[in-house]
């Protein structure tokens, strides 16, 4: 959800700064139509089989990790694009903490209570429609990379990780460098 807010906010900011967003449509991504199909497919797989299915079975965890690895491969194919390396670093940081903690993104009970005030946060469980697992800080491997930064958004509360910050910065770099009136986007066409 944070990425959706970030993308919308960056696009609005780019429009307010009179950037030429049509330049994004002129870019040539390695992978072409297959790239688009894979990215959409990854989101569908995550939504149908991971985020909106209750429980925390091993197949959900494998699908989540494999989808992130596939996205990382797609990004590496297009690593010459602005912001892609920062975006990929964000995915790697998130993958490190997820793999180290059983395939799910750790969130402490305290941070969970911030995001979902008044709801129980049973330890070692995965909240519905989430890629998180509730773990005490002391038991979280690479806690500094977990969803440990509470964030209030308009009408929403969430928690983000350092990896998520790199994802947003990478998207911002992409949008603002590609749409810059002074920037020649020829190398990316």
DSSP letters, 81-139, are STTHHHHHHHHHHHHHHHHHTTTSEEE-HHHHHHHSTTS---TT---TT-SEEE--GGG
CA atoms within 13 A on the CB side of 112: 23
Mean per-residue pLDDT, 98-120: 91
Q: What percent of the chain has pLDDT over 70?
A: 90
pLDDT band at 56 (very low <50, low <70, confident <90, very high): low
**41 pLDDT higher than 70:** yes
pLDDT band at 100 (very low <50, low <70, confident <90, very high): very high
pLDDT band at 119 (very low <50, low <70, confident <90, very high): confident
Query: H-helix or E-strand containing 159?
Result: strand 156-160
Say what the pLDDT of residue 91 is: 93
Mean per-residue pLDDT, 95-113: 93
Say what the pLDDT of residue 127 is: 79
Say what the pLDDT of residue 135 is: 96
């Amino acid at each position: 959800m944070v990425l959706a807010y970030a993308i919308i906010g960056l696009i609005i900011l780019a429009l307010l700064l009179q950037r030429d967003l049509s330049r994004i449509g002129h870019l040539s991504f390695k992978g072409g139509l297959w790239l688009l199909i894979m990215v959409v497919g990854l989101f569908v797989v995550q939504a149908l089989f991971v985020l909106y299915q209750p429980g925390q079975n091993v197949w959900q965890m494998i699908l989540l990790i494999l989808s992130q690895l596939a996205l990382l491969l797609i990004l590496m194919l297009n690593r010459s694009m602005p912001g892609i390396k920062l975006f990929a670093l964000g995915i790697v940081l998130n993958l490190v903490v997820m793999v180290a903690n059983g395939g799910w993104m750790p969130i402490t009970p305290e941070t969970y209570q911030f995001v979902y005030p008044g709801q129980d946060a049973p330890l070692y469980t995965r909240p519905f429609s989430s890629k998180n697992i509730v773990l005490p800080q002391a038991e979280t491997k690479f806690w500094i990379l977990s969803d440990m930064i509470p964030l209030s958004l308009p009408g929403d509360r969430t928690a983000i990780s350092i990896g998520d910050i790199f994802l947003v910065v990478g998207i911002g770099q992409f949008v603002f460098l590609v749409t810059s009136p002074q920037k020649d986007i020829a190398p990316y066409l």
